[in-house]
Structure 1
Amino acid sequence: MASELEELIGFLDDSRNEVRAMSAEIVAGLTANAEGIEKLKALQRPLVVKLFRSVGLGGDPARKALVALVNLSQDPAVVEMLLDLNVVNRVMEFIRDGAVPHVDLLTSLLANVTISERGCKDLLQIGKGSMEGLHMAVLLKKFVVGGITLCPGDADPFEHVASVLTNVTRLPEARRLLLQPGRGLLQALVSQLQSWNSLRRLGASGALKNCVMSAEEDGTLVCILEDRTVLTHMLRPINGQPPVEKEDTVRECMAEAVLVLAGTDKGRDALWEAGAPEALRKGYEDEQHPGVCVAMERTAEIFLSHSTIDSGVAPGVVGLASASAKQQQQQEQEEQPREGQQEQQPAE
């Protein structure tokens, strides 16, 4: 005899819209907390299958079914189950066809499953021959177009693609795809650093940092540097000029990416030309985040060690490096005991 939960799950793909809606509402509520998820654990596989069917049937219940799937996909074991059920292809089919209007939840589900390396590979379609990169190309196009056409404050259905980009660029295949010459994907990505949507900026900065950190190893450094406007975009969040970047993570990602580029001969030359020393000096004046400050100071030291004081842009670097050295000196002095001060001896 079926349990109440089994009966509830059975109604998720019922032919009657109102019955599906009732069932999806209850299931979504259960997946909103750990206690409810625990109750559903023994029935996770049939539950996930039924939820996908409910999504495909459309109507009001589809959104609640997707909410439940997003909640469940925070569990790595459920992610593996979803990948076994071809979740990436099914979600991308929904996105391409436009049959399911809840793109925000579909992309949020992709963000969760691409936390796993297997999920990233499925999205990149690695080993699928001519199909490789097709899903990513579709997502990137919709992501960039949305960033251009939406007004500040509008609902942004593709904002979670930014998190997907951060996730997948941990893999060299994704980094090479983004940096393919002539496709303009890198330029489209850096443009999101000026988006009004903080999620877009966070995702774009994370993906860019991933690409830069492995550029020498991947052999893609030239691809990053060939368009100098890319460096201008990367410097903007840390140059201290309005509009000031409010997200610490964005500034830290870009400061660390610039530090890595400064450590290479070609990157350092390109940064000089882009006015990086002066941009860093101005940004450093009001920067409060320790991680950003450290990256800027180390970059300034690299510039200073590869330049002369007579260089046209050296004063900015000197000012920043000197400030760093002065702070370090003050800290060391504070840690030293004052002259003539003796350790207090315990009373006999």
Structure 2
Amino acid sequence: MASELEELVGFLDDDRAEVRAASAEIVAGLTASAEGIEKLKAVQRPLVIKLFRSVGRGGDAARKSLVALVNLSHDPAVVEVLLSLNVVNRVMEFLRDGSIPHVDLLTGLLANVTISERGCRDLLQIGQGNMEGLHMAVLLKKFVVGGITLSPGEPDPFEHVASVLTNVTRLAEGRRLLLQPGRGLLAALVSQLQSWNSLRRLGASGAIKNCVMSAEEDGTLDSILDDKTALQHMLRPINGQPPLEKEDTVRECMAEAVLVLARTDKGRDVLWEAGAPEALRKGYEDEQHPGVCLAMERTAEIFLSHSTIDSGMTPGIAGLASSSAAAQRQQGQEPEGQQQQGQ
């Protein structure tokens, strides 16, 4: 005899739309708590399968089913089940054909499953020949277009792609894809640092930092430094000019990225040309976050140590490096996903 949970799961693909919707609502409610998710583990695999079927059939049940899937995907064991069921390709099919209107939840699901390395590899289509990078190209295009066309305060269905970008750039393949010459993906990414949406800025800054931190090892340093506009975008959040960047994490990511570039000969030269010393001096004046200040101070020290080969060194940048505040301010990029949702 079927258990109550098994019966509940069975109703998710009932021919009657109202029954599917009622069942999906109950399941979504259960997944809103850790206790509920634990209870559902007894029917984990059939539940995930039926939820996807419910999503594909549309109607009122589709959104509740997606809410349940997003909440369940916070559990690594459920993520493995989802990946074994080809979740990435299925979500991308929904996004491409527009058959499912709940883009915010679809992209939130991708943000959660790409916390897993396997999820990142599936999204990047690693090892799939000419198909490699196709999913990411589609996502980036929709992400950037959304950033241009949406007005401040409007619902942003593709904002969770920012978290996806942070996640996939933890892999060398993801970083190389974004920095591939001629594709313009880096330019598209840095443009999001000026978005009104803080989630977009946070995700973009995390992805840029990931790319910069491993640039020498990945062989992509030239790709970053050759894009002068990208460097200007990277300096913008930390140059102290209005409108000021309110997110500490964004400023810290960019300050640390600039520090890494300044440690290389070519990077230092390009930063000089981009006016980095003056930008750092102005940004430092009112900066309060310890991590941002520390990165700025270390960058200034690097510029000072090479000042004999460049007469552009200014008293301001010297003062930044020797600031007594350095002794007082000490700082004691996580993978990103979508938060658990209620009904």
- Tell me if both proteins adopt one fold, taking TM over 0.5 as the criterion: yes
Query: What is the number of residues matched between the two proteins?
Result: 329
The residue that corresponds to 1:92 in the other structure is 92
**Cα separation, partners in 2 of 1:9 and 1:328, compared to 1, 3 Å:** closer
The 5-angstrom pairing of residues 110-129 of structure 1 reads: 110-129=110-129
CA contact (8 A) 2:225 2:231 kept: yes
The residue that corresponds to 2:285 in the other structure is 285
Q: Which one-letter code corresponds to 2:123 in the other structure?
A: L
CA contact (8 A) 2:294 2:326 kept: no
Displacement, 1:205?
0.1
CA contact (8 A) 2:304 2:313 kept: no
**Cα separation, partners in 2 of 1:278 and 1:309, compared to 1, 3 Å:** farther
The residue that corresponds to 1:345 in the other structure is none
CA contact (8 A) 2:239 2:282 kept: yes
CA contact (8 A) 1:48 1:82 kept: yes
Displacement, 1:330?
8.0
The residue that corresponds to 1:327 in the other structure is 325
Displacement, 1:4?
1.3
The residue that corresponds to 2:317 in the other structure is 317
TM-score normalised to structure 1 length: 0.93
Instruction: Structure 1: state its 5+ residue gaps.
Output: 332-348
Q: Which one-letter code corresponds to 2:306 in the other structure?
A: H
* Separation in structure 1 between the aligned mates of residue 325 and residue 293 of structure 2, nearest angstrom: 11
Displacement, 1:182?
1.1
The residue that corresponds to 1:182 in the other structure is 182
* Separation in structure 2 between the aligned mates of residue 14 and residue 56 of structure 1, nearest angstrom: 13
Q: Which one-letter code corresponds to 1:100 in the other structure?
A: I
CA contact (8 A) 1:275 1:313 kept: no
The 5-angstrom pairing of residues 23-34 of structure 1 reads: 23-34=23-34
Displacement, 1:3?
1.2
The 5-angstrom pairing of residues 187-226 of structure 1 reads: 187-226=187-226
Instruction: Structure 2: state its 5+ residue gaps.
Output: 330-343
Greater RCO, CA 8 A, separation 6+: 2
Counterpart of 1:308 in 2: which secondary structure?
Answer: helix
Deviations 1:61-83 (A, max 9, x none): 10000000000000001001100
**Cα separation, partners in 2 of 1:22 and 1:233, compared to 1, 3 Å:** same
* Separation in structure 2 between the aligned mates of residue 26 and residue 328 of structure 1, nearest angstrom: 54
* Separation in structure 1 between the aligned mates of residue 228 and residue 164 of structure 2, nearest angstrom: 26
The residue that corresponds to 2:261 in the other structure is 261
* Separation in structure 1 between the aligned mates of residue 214 and residue 300 of structure 2, nearest angstrom: 21
Deviations 1:87-106 (A, max 9, x none): 00000000001000000000
* Separation in structure 1 between the aligned mates of residue 227 and residue 115 of structure 2, nearest angstrom: 30
Displacement, 1:315?
2.4
Q: Kindly, what percent of the aligned residue pairs are identical? A: 86
* Separation in structure 2 between the aligned mates of residue 330 and residue 110 of structure 1, nearest angstrom: 41
Displacement, 1:316?
2.8
* Separation in structure 2 between the aligned mates of residue 44 and residue 254 of structure 1, nearest angstrom: 41
* Separation in structure 1 between the aligned mates of residue 59 and residue 42 of structure 2, nearest angstrom: 28
TM-score normalised to structure 2 length: 0.94
The 5-angstrom pairing of residues 221-300 of structure 1 reads: 221-300=221-300
Displacement, 1:310?
7.7
- 171-180 or 201-210, which moves further after superposition? 171-180
Displacement, 1:313?
4.0
* Separation in structure 2 between the aligned mates of residue 266 and residue 187 of structure 1, nearest angstrom: 20
**Cα separation, partners in 2 of 1:51 and 1:269, compared to 1, 3 Å:** same
Counterpart of 2:308 in 1: which secondary structure?
Answer: coil
The residue that corresponds to 2:144 in the other structure is 144
Q: Which one-letter code corresponds to 1:210 in the other structure?
A: N
The residue that corresponds to 2:335 in the other structure is none
Deviations 1:23-50 (A, max 9, x none): 0000000000011111111100000000
Asked whether 1:68 is paired with 2:68, we answer yes
